[in-house]
Amino acid sequence: MKTSESSILFAVKDLIKIMAMPSNEEMIADERWDFKFIKNAEDSLLLEFEISEGIKRAAPPSFLMAYLLKKQIKAIKKETSVRPSNIAFWAIDKYSEEEKKRIYLQLQEACNTLSNTSAKYKCECEFVLFKM
């Protein structure tokens, strides 16, 4: 099954929306999402999803973002023959200060997870906010 660019874009937008949500509130999944929210023993928010028939996994939003970043870095390397060492996140200023803080922390965690996974994916993250 090939994933379209538009479905990846929606996944990233939805993941950022989830990152903006406070983890101490009850989370209700959008009906378009193929996962559900669960909490682990430390009361951390996880997304539980099926990876193949009957096999389920759970991961925090930051881990899933790290996975998407890794795929993007591979695509950039394939297209340009250069692996990026910096990644910039551009966001529209539509979130509250608390939501921006949660998003920033989880994106930073995603970058740290990616950098710690393998030296070839080590990257610096920058955050740019558009004012509208």
pTM: 0.76
Counting Cβ atoms within 10 Å, is residue 33 exposed (0-12), middle (13-18) or buried (19+)? Answer: middle
Give the single-character DSSP code of 21.
S
- Listed residue (85, 72, 88, 90) closest to 115, CA to CA: 85
6: pLDDT strictly greater than 60: no
Counting Cβ atoms within 10 Å, is residue 60 exposed (0-12), middle (13-18) or buried (19+)? Answer: buried
Q: How many CA atoms lie within 13 A of 53 on its CB side?
A: 0
pLDDT band at residue 75 using 50, 70 and 90 as cut-offs: very high
Backbone angles phi, psi at 42, to 5 degrees: -90, 5
